[in-house]
Amino acid sequence: MPELTVRHVTTYRYRHPVAFGEHRMMFRPMESYDQRLLDIRVDIDPKPVDLRWIHDTFGNCVAIARFGEHSDQLRFESNVRLEHLPQNTPDFRMETYARTYPFTYGPEEMPDLARSIERHYFDPDHEVDHWVRQFLDRDAETPTGELLMTITHAIKESFTYVHRYELGSQDPITTLTSGRGTCRDFAVLMMEAVRALGLAARFVSGYLYSPVEGGRFGGGNTHAWVQIYLPGAGWVEFDPTNGIIGNRDLIRVAVARDPRQAVPLYGTWVGSRSDSLGMTVEVEVRDVSDESETSYAAE
């Protein structure tokens, strides 16, 4: 099983020393059959007076830091080592009834999936609906796996990836009309598109391993993609930014119904707006399967 390391550094700088409020971090990858956490170390400067870990309503691991001193810089560094079992393209071993669209989730699943099917963005002119329905076969049922792969690749091929430094994600209508966005924007568009078809989808925040430098969009920063629930196959990964189907090279950290529930790092500070000198983010993901390294204990 390949071993990957992730080094994630976020640095905030200020013109003068400022006070810091609570900061919440989602740095710890989710453990599952396809990824196993080996080590994690989180270093924060200045050192918090209190650091605790909790699980949120989705089961994501969240670290919460509280600070006591003022500083003109706040730096978070997370170093992770994990085993990652890649699955390039799933074979979509769905229940027979779900292999073609449309289908309906079973009564035992629907109560838990309902909020993930619910639309989250206002679409008064049904623009998202019209866009996604172009991928349906009007004369016959559409193979479900083929439909989702087509939507994934359509976003990759038809939209332009851009770096956008504003906080949050833009609404799917803006992404549709502008034809451009970030990985978070493309994930939101795909979520809303498949929800318009009655499918359950959720947002995933994590990291992307790119075997070739510059070969994929989303490297050097945190990454985002989508999971869609398929009866019999479970939650399946779709990365519309890079056209990846399955989990290959995708390292899950957090899943949520809405991207605002899976922000990698969020916090407050006290001072004048002009005191902020900005933020920098560095993410490096490496394959160390053939390297010999000393391990440190997971926290």
Residue of 274, 164, 176 whose CA lies nearest to 217: 164
Number of domains into which the chain is organized = 2
**Domain span at residue 250?**
96-261
149-193 pLDDT, tens digit per residue, is 999 999 999 999 998 766 778 999 999 999 999 999 999 999 999
Same domain, 73 and 114: no
Query: CA 191, 58, 2: angle at the middle one, nearest 5?
Result: 80
Q: Which CATH number do you get for residue 122? A: 3.10.620.30
Same domain, 175 and 247: yes
Same domain, 218 and 170: yes
276-285 pLDDT, tens digit per residue, is 999 999 999 9
Q: Is the pLDDT of residue 299 over 80?
A: no
Give the pairing of strands 244-245 and 180-181: unpaired
Same domain, 173 and 220: yes
What average pLDDT does range 113-129 have in this prediction? Answer: 96
68-111 pLDDT, tens digit per residue, is 999 999 999 999 999 999 876 677 889 999 999 999 999 999 99
Q: 181: which 2 tokens? A: 């966005």
222-236 pLDDT, tens digit per residue, is 999 999 999 999 999
Element (H or E) spanning 6, and its range? Answer: strand 3-25
Same domain, 153 and 184: yes
Quick one: what percent of the chain has pLDDT higher than 90? 84
Same domain, 231 and 277: no
**For all residues of the chain together, what is the average pLDDT?**
92
Domain membership of residue 59 (yes or no) is yes
Distance CA 143, CA 95 (A): 13
**Which DSSP state fits 7?**
E
- Give the per-residue pLDDT at 92: 83
Q: Within its chain, how far is the Cα of 149 from the centroid? A: 18
Domain membership of residue 294 (yes or no) is no
Same domain, 81 and 22: yes
**Which DSSP state fits 131?**
H
- Give the per-residue pLDDT at 287: 95
Domain membership of residue 31 (yes or no) is yes
Same domain, 118 and 247: yes
pTM of the model: 0.92
Domain membership of residue 298 (yes or no) is no
